Amino acid sequence: MNSRTDGMFKGIYNGKQCHVSDIATVLSRAWSAGVDRIIVTGGSLEESKEALAIAETDGRLFCTVGVHPTRCKEFEESGDPEKHFQALLSLAKEGIEKGKVVAIGECGLDYDRLHFCPAEVQKKYFEKQFELAYATKLPMFLHMRAAADDFCEIVERNKDRFTAGVTHSFTDGAEDRDKLLSFQNMYIGVNGCSLKTKENLDVVRDIPIERLMIETDSPYCEIRSTHAGNKLIKSVWPSKKKEKYDQESVVKNRNEPCLVRQVLEVVAGCKGISDIEQLSRTIYHNTCRVFFPQDLDSAADALLSAGHDP
């Protein structure tokens, strides 16, 4: 769940109020669907503060602290990049003490959107954020788009500075998938954006289950009717346009955490896996191993034996 766009969960789309704030309804729908925890993503210093504030409202909510590649100019625009870095570090430490901050990120490289931030600035502050991971001993929540060579080179240089990581919203090809899998402590996260084409499904099919995570990246990256993965979906929710908001329905074209079930179903379908519950338990275990290692033995194993959904 991206804090930077929780405006949509306040009913605001492109600056226009379309319906009442419905974060509580969205969360209730997620818990009812079997979602166990949600990590709210920070993409800038201010957003990371907001993500922590959201995470403090519910015991099942957690968050990240970091700067997205497209926002890395904020280090220099702050007037004092080192002071900006220290503010991120102190926020991360505060969140760790509260039991809420579980990763550094979202950070990485995005060469599809260089108009927001030049590659050299992205690379500099991607590398810098490994210092946050090293200082806090936290895993990393990573973003890689059209930048695999530089991304993997930076990860290689810093692979001993972070405990583990997930490259989320993966949309690249088989070669880049295999580059990521060559890092022992790297997982690959998939969502609706990862499941658009037959080629995408072929790439996801060959990600080993023990290195896989699923996510929604809501309110983005929903699985649309035009996507190749759509035919593998089994679970559907009633939906209505934002202008005809009804709290019993999801908002059309706005992704929600409950829809992670659909991602699970598409992954199972493209891998030819019929035991979807066992797949969900394995993926949940992967997620706990990286983000919630302190309760891996007790909570995750209890969930595994209870046959809990993700």
Phi, psi at residue 22, to the nearest 5°?
A: -135, 30
Q: Is 106 annotated as contributing to ligand binding?
A: yes
Q: Does the annotation list 308 as a binding residue? A: no
Tell me, what's the pLDDT at 90? Answer: 98
Secondary structure (H, E, C), 92-122: HHHHHHCCCEEEEEEEEEEHHHCCCCCHHHH
- pTM, two decimals, is 0.91
Q: Is 285 annotated as a binding residue?
A: no
Burial class (CB in 10 A: 0-12, 13-18, 19+), 278: middle
Q: What residue ranges do the domains of the chain occupy?
A: 7-293
> Would you state the pLDDT for residue 310?
47
Contact assessment for residue 23 and residue 53, using Cβ atoms and an 8 Å cutoff = no
CA distance 274 to 288: 23
- Asked whether residue 84 is marked as a ligand-binding residue, the answer is no
Q: Is 68 annotated as a binding residue?
A: no
pLDDT (tens place) for every residue of the chain, 310 residues total: 665 556 888 888 888 888 877 888 899 999 999 999 999 999 999 999 999 999 999 999 999 999 999 999 999 999 999 999 999 999 999 999 999 999 999 999 999 999 999 999 999 999 999 999 999 999 999 999 999 999 999 999 999 999 999 999 999 999 999 999 999 999 999 999 999 999 999 999 999 999 999 999 999 999 999 999 999 999 999 999 989 988 888 999 899 999 999 999 999 999 999 999 999 999 999 999 999 987 766 555 555 555 555 4
For residues 62 and 37, the answer to whether their CB atoms sit within 8 Å is yes
pLDDT of residue 16: 85
Choose the CATH number for 7-293 among 3.20.20.140, 3.90.420.10, 3.40.50.300, 1.10.1740.10: 3.20.20.140
